Each structure stands twice: as C-alpha cells, then as structure tokens.
C-alpha cells in the first residue's frame, strides 16, 4: 500500500457517507482516514530509507492492488513521454533483456567489465557463481515513478539459466528458475536520442539509464527433464498493464502501415497465423529457425533452442504436429516514435509430444490433442525512422 491508495479509499468512503455515518459517528470516519494516512506515511518513510540503503521494497501482488498498480504504471509512462517524447518502452525493455543476459553470463568473469558502463556501482569478477545458457522467459514493467531530479523504472525478469558454483575441488551445475527486479534510474535532464538502433542491439537509446540495484526475488532449482514444448512456455505476468480498447487503435494501426494492412484481422490472417504455424513445422529438425515473414528475437530464439537442445541431447525428438488455429485476435497495439508492438491472442489445438529414436512416445500424446491459448507479441521498427519496410520480430510467446 502506498500514498496513491489514499484518494481511492477516501472516494470509496465518501460515496457511502450516509450509510456509514448512520451506523457510526463522524469521528469514527475521521479516525479511520487518519490511521490510513499515518500508515501510508510510515510505509513511505520506510521505503525511502531502504532504497537509500540499496534495496527496493515492493508489495506482494494481490487482487486488491493490481488495478491501482496498473493505473500507476500507465500514468508513469505518460509522465515520462510528456517530457521525453522519444522514450520507447519497447526499446527500453529490449535493451534491458539483452543487458540481463550479458550481465548473468559475465558474472565471475573478466567480461563483466563490458557491462560495467550500464551500472552505477562497481561490478566484481571474483564471484564463484557463474551462469550460462540464460533464457529470459518474460520481462515486465513492475513500477515506474518520477521524482524531483530522477526517473526510476523497475523491471521484473522471469528467467532460467544453468547455475555453476566453483568450490575448491570441483564445479557443480544445475538449472535454476529465477525472478529478479532491476531498478533503473536516469537523471531527468537527459532525453532519448532522435535515432536509436534497431531492436536486438545495445543502442545509444539507453546509454543514460543506469542499473541502481539488482534484487533477487526467488531462485529455485528446476527439473531439467524433457517436457513437451507447450508445457514449458511461461505465463503472462499479472503486473502487465491491461490491453487498450482494440477498436480505438485500429485507425492508428492502418495509418501507421499506410494501407499495407486494412485492419487487425488482415494482419492476423496474413502475418500472425502463417508465422505462428511456420514455427512448428518440422520442429524436430529446427524448422522454427526460419519463420514465415518474421524473424525471432534473441530471447525467443534462445527459449526454442534451449527446449530443442534439452530433448535432443538425450537422444529424443520433440514433435509438434497437426496444428490447428481456431482463434486469432489482436488484443493490444502500441506504437511510439520508433517501434510498434502487436499482441495477438492465439487459440489452437495440436499434438505435442516427445518420442525416442524408435518412434515410441515417451512424453505427451500422439493421439490426444492439446488445447492451448497463448499471447504472441510481434514487434517492428518504425519505417519512417529506419527507412525500410517493417520487418516483424516474434518477440515472445506466453500462456494465458
């Protein structure tokens, strides 16, 4: 709970003043409000002191605060864009994901110095803990706020990696699933550049942003045994802002593409569904590496490669067959000065299983169809900025 909750609580109380006062005295109402205000002040004071010590205090996600939190995130983005119109959340999250991977894969190594410019504290290469095969499952905007001189953004990462610990006599390793929250900060005197680089690169877009702290929320050892693919994809984060009203965005989408697509349904039919289906054709022989009319983001490609490698190195074959898409609808569309993202809800049925070299099914079923609903996010650079036809990137795939 924070100070932003106070106006909402007061509004709820005000709407029900007559019934409240009829059962209680006016003094009781003022007492309740005073207690709530005092609690918020104390929490704010504690949060500030902990942040000064290098820690980030975050509330546990609940049904009660998720709506207020989402509103605060949307408001925070609007506040940044009001003074920095070139700010791109798509570009920022892409940069942060690349940094996340490079940071973890350089821990305990001399190469950690390559990411040092993006941190405002000294990184060490003396750690006995090292990572490899880092796969980012999802990145979401957890919190955003603007203070007197500084903008703060908290991103939450869900990822997995091979964790290695180097004792004196041996190296032990296992795969871990982790959740981390990274606090980024930037002085308000800086603004985003007029010309960032394309997605998938460390662009000058984020040179002024610094990582103020890396906070591990959870880390658990996971079973590395092979599983059918659609049992392994991550779930959409509950903290994501709610989708906008799609009908209100269709005109912007058409104008953005200047007649290339006559609407969201046209995009789904001619890009989203063919691209999605192409990922699973010949999946056992890495057919996903050349999707239809799209390319894959580094994170998504790593996720597919990790799944495929985990199965094939055990002498098995991952199989995805008879894919039938029953629903494809755009549920969100965001466009800024540099990038656009299109999120498509896909419902489908398929056979998703694993077999050995003799053709025997070892996991899943080759006869019972699995019904799945996912969100697939496509991203593309703004053609006005990058002076070429938009090339859609399959950015991520998540369960809902």
Domain boundary among 166, 199, 221: 221
Q: Is residue 64 part of a domain?
A: no
Q: List Cβ neighbours of 276 (8 Å cut-off, separation of 6 or more).
A: 325, 328, 346, 348, 376
Tokens representing 266 are 């046209």
The CA distances from residue 387 to 371, 383, 384, in Å, are: 41, 5, 5
* pLDDT of res. 10: 37
Domain boundary among 175, 194, 221: 221
204 and 346 share a domain? no
Tell me the average pLDDT across 180-205.
Answer: 81
253 and 185 share a domain? no
14 and 89 share a domain? no
Element of type H or E holding 327: strand 317-335
What percentage of the chain exceeds 70 in pLDDT?
74
Whole-angstrom distance between the N-terminal and C-terminal Cα of the chain?
27
The CATH number that applies at residue 240 is 3.10.450.240
Nearest partner of 297 among 210, 214, 384, 396, judged by Cα: 396
Q: How many domains does the chain have?
A: 3
Nearest partner of 144 among 111, 182, 170, judged by Cα: 182
213 and 270 share a domain? no
Tell me the average pLDDT across 34-42.
Answer: 38
237 and 209 share a domain? no
Tokens 């703004």, located at residue:
382
Q: 89 in helix, strand or coil?
A: helix
CA distance 173 to 334: 40
Q: Which residues pair with 309 in a beta bridge?
A: none
380 and 336 share a domain? yes
CA distance 324 to 270: 16
Domain boundary among 221, 238, 268: 221
Q: What is the pLDDT of residues 219-268, one digit of tens each?
A: 898 877 888 999 988 887 665 545 556 667 888 788 777 777 888 999 99
Q: What is the pLDDT of residues 97-131, one digit of tens each?
A: 999 999 998 887 888 888 898 999 998 877 777 88
216 and 257 share a domain? no
Q: pTM of whole model > 0.85?
A: no
Cβ atoms < 10 Å from Cβ of 80: 21
Q: Are 388 and 288 in contact (CB under 8 A)?
A: no
Q: Is residue 69 part of a domain?
A: no
DSSP annotation of 235 reads: B
Q: Is residue 62 part of a domain?
A: no
Q: Is residue 68 part of a domain?
A: no
Tell me the average pLDDT across 276-292.
Answer: 90
What percentage of the chain exceeds 90 in pLDDT?
30
Q: What is the pLDDT of residues 65-78, one digit of tens each?
A: 566 776 777 788 88
* pLDDT of res. 6: 33
Half-sphere exposure of 174 (CA within 13 A, CB side): 8
Helices 89-106 and 298-312: crossing angle in degrees, nearest 10, is 40
Q: Is residue 338 part of a domain?
A: yes
Q: 381 in helix, strand or coil?
A: strand
Tokens representing 13 are 């109380």
Which of 17-31, 228-242, 309-323, 386-400 shows the lowest mean pLDDT across its residues?
17-31
Question: 245 or 338: whose pLDDT is higher?
Answer: 338
DSSP annotation of 281 reads: T
Question: 237 or 279: whose pLDDT is higher?
Answer: 279
237 and 371 share a domain? yes
Tokens representing 34 are 């005073």
The CATH number that applies at residue 101 is 3.10.450
Q: What is the pLDDT of residues 196-217, one digit of tens each?
A: 667 776 655 677 899 999 999 9
| Residue-number span of the structural domain to which 217 is assigned | 78-221
Q: List Cβ neighbours of 384 (8 Å cut-off, separation of 6 or more).
A: none
Q: Are 336 and 89 in contact (CB under 8 A)?
A: yes
pLDDT at 59 over 50: no
DSSP calls for 115-164: GGGGBSS---S--SEEEEEEEEEEEEEEEEEE-SSEEEEEEEEEEEEEEE
142 and 216 share a domain? yes
Q: What are phi and psi of 41, to 5 degrees?
A: -65, -45
94 and 123 share a domain? yes
pLDDT at 384 over 70: no
372 and 249 share a domain? yes
pLDDT band at 27; cut points 50, 70, 90 = very low
* pLDDT of res. 213: 95
Q: Is residue 196 part of a domain?
A: yes
217 and 327 share a domain? no
CA distance 16 to 20: 6
pLDDT band at 310; cut points 50, 70, 90 = confident
Q: Is residue 25 part of a domain?
A: yes
pLDDT at 81 over 70: yes
Q: Is residue 45 part of a domain?
A: yes
């Amino acid at each position: 709970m924070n100070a932003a909750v106070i106006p909402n609580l007061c509004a709820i109380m005000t709407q029900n003043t007559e019934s409240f006062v009829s059962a209680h005295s006016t003094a009781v109402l003022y007492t309740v409000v005073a207690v709530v205000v005092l609690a918020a002040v104390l929490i704010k004071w504690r949060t500030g002191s902990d942040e000064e010590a290098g820690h980030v205090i975050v509330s546990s996600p609940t049904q009660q605060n998720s709506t207020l939190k989402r509103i605060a995130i949307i408001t925070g983005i609007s506040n940044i864009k009001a003074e920095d119109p070139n700010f791109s959340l798509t570009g920022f999250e892409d940069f942060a994901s690349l940094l996340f991977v490079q940071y973890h894969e350089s821990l305990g190594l001399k190469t950690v110095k390559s990411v040092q410019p993006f941190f405002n504290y000294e990184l060490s290469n003396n750690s006995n803990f090292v990572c490899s095969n880092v796969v980012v499952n999802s990145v979401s905007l957890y919190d955003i706020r603007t203070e007197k001189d500084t903008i703060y953004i908290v991103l939450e990462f869900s990822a997995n990696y091979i964790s290695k610990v180097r004792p004196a006599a041996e190296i032990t390793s296992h795969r871990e699933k982790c959740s981390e929250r990274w606090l980024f900060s930037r002085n308000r005197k800086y603004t985003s550049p007029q010309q960032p680089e394309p997605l998938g690169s460390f662009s000058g877009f984020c040179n002024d942003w610094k990582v103020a702290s890396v906070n591990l929320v959870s880390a658990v050892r996971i079973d590395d045994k092979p599983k059918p693919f659609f049992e392994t994809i991550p779930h959409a984060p509950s903290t994501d802002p709610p989708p906008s009203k799609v009908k209100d965005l269709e005109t912007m989408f058409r104008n953005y593409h200047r007649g290339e697509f006559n609407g969201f349904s046209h995009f789904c039919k001619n890009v989203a569904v063919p691209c999605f289906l192409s990922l699973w054709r010949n999946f056992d022989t890495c057919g996903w590496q050349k999707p239809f009319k799209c390319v894959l983001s580094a994170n998504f490609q790593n996720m597919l490669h990790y799944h495929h490698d985990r199965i094939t190195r055990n002498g098995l074959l991952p199989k995805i067959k008879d894919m039938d898409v029953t629903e494809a609808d755009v549920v969100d569309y965001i466009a800024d000065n540099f990038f656009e993202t299109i999120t498509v809800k896909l419902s489908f049925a398929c056979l998703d299983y694993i077999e050995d070299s003799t053709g025997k099914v070892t996991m899943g079923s080759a006869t019972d169809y699995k019904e799945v609903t996912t969100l697939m996010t496509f991203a593309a650079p703004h053609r006005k900025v990058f002076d070429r036809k938009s090339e859609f990137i399959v950015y991520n795939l998540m369960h809902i």
